[in-house]
Amino acid sequence: MKEQTSQYFVIFIAISFMIGSIFTDFVSSDRLLLSITLAALSFTLLDLSKLLGLNKLFNFLFLFLAVFSLIVIPYLDFLFELIHSQNNRLTIIGLSIVLLMIGIRQFIEEKKDLKQVNESIDSLTGMNQELLTKMEEQTKIIKDLSSQLKEHNK
């Protein structure tokens, strides 16, 4: 249930941002937009970390950075001034990682599907081989019985 709670938390944050984007005051705050960009990048890196099966330490680090970005960064003047000029770059990097993850997921799914198809083919090949062996045995038995019958009728 813990995992579901954190998933709901992320979903509710996303919905809140969507609703907030309707209001001009919300989207006109450069500090808030930077913090959202950094949080989105951190959540994206968290997802990539999970996808790649990295150490859980990375998961906690990216989750911490996401929360830190949303809660603390808008209020730190020195950090805002340092990072603000990179906002567009961070947005592009975040989008690039999202696209990368989509490609990786598709690759993994296709590889998994291909493995299942190959396993099914191998299974069918094995079954066909067994049937062929049984048919050959039955053919031999029929030939033997036919030979015995011919000899018996002579």
More confident residue, 7 or 109: 109
Count the domains in the chain.
Answer: 1
In a domain? residue 129: no
Q: What is d(CA 54, CA 87) in angstroms, rounded to the nearest whole number?
A: 27
In a domain? residue 67: yes
In a domain? residue 151: no
pLDDT band per the 50, 70, 90 thresholds, residue 3: low
In a domain? residue 79: yes
**For residue 105, what pLDDT is reported?**
83
Does position 7 have pLDDT exceeding 80, yes or no?
A: no
Does position 36 have pLDDT exceeding 50, yes or no?
A: yes
In a domain? residue 90: yes
In a domain? residue 154: no
Digit-coded pLDDT (tens) for 74-91: 888 888 888 888 878 888
Query: How many Å separate Cα 43 from the centre of its chain?
Result: 14
In a domain? residue 143: no
* Helical residues (DSSP H) of 21-86, grouped into ranges: 24-27, 30-52, 56-71, 77-83
73 and 79 Cβ atoms separated by less than 8 Å = yes
Q: What percent of the chain has pLDDT over 70?
A: 96
Count other Cβ atoms within 10 Å, centred on residue 49.
19
In a domain? residue 123: no
Domain interval for residue 87: 2-110
Does position 1 have pLDDT exceeding 50, yes or no?
A: no
